[in-house]
Each structure stands twice: as C-alpha cells, then as structure tokens.
A = this chain, B = another copy of it.
Amino acid sequence: MIRKQSKQRDLILNYVKSMDAHASAEEIFDGINQTDEKISLATIYRNLNILAEMDEIKKISHPTYGYVYDKTCEPHDHFYCTECKSFMDVNTKYHEELDNETQKETKLRIYSHSTLFEGICNTCLKKYSH
C-alpha cells in the first residue's frame, strides 16, 4: 500500500521523537492534545502501529502496562523495577556475541536481541534502606 503523508502522522512521529522516555498510546494522546492540535485516539493507535511497521519508532511491551513506544529503533536494553514497576532504558554496549552464540546453539536465524534487567531502582532502594 502506498502511504500518503498526513499532518497527524507527522505530528505523532515528531511527538514520539521528542519524548525522553517511553510513553503509552494514551499518554501520547494526552500530550499531543494538550497543544492546539487535536488528534483522535483511534488515529494515535493506528499511526503508532503504522510508524512501528515503517521502523520509524519501536513498539515495546512493558512488563506490567501493555505497550509503550520508543523513539529508538536500534535494539537496546531495559531495566524494570519490580517494586515500583518503573521501566527505563539501559545504555550499555550491544553484545553481538550473544546473537552469535545463540544462533550457533539453536540454529535459529537471529537478527538482534534486547535484554530486560530486573531489580530495584534507586528511588525504591532509598525508600527501603531506612
């Protein structure tokens, strides 16, 4: 299907590109609709899916809250706090050797990976060290 450009899709892409963390569809909807521009929720969902398909953004499943969207498409790791359920990027180096190792052992065709670390975030650590 040949895609036509649309003001709404451009706005959504720019909004996601401007975010410094992950956000859900609902949060993106709220964020955009606080400005002058009004976009319907169904349009937000439809375009987030289209943009993810176009590899302009990345759709990530959050361990507790459905899907969130990320401006970074390159594979990268995440940290999940099992206490407060917060979820954030981890920017350590990409371990290509894991892909090779797993491909060799499983015979699957592996293109990339992303690792989800679990633990306790700094805010929760402080809270529980009292």
Which residues of chain A have a CB within 8 Å of any CB of chain B?
61-63, 75, 77, 79, 82, 90, 92, 95, 98-99, 101-103, 105-122, 125
Task: Specify which chain B residues have a CB less than 8 angstroms from the CB of A98 in the assembled complex.
Answer: 95, 115, 117
Given contacts A61-B61, A61-B62, A77-B102, contact A119 B109 (CB under 8 A): yes
Task: State how many copies of this chain the complex holds.
Answer: 2
Instruction: Tell me the smallest distance from the CB of A8 to a CB of chain B, in Å.
Output: 24
Nearest B residue to A111 via CB reads B119
Are the CB atoms of A108 and B92 closer together than 8 Å?
A: no
Are the CB atoms of A115 and B118 closer together than 8 Å?
A: no
Are the CB atoms of A120 and B109 closer together than 8 Å?
A: yes
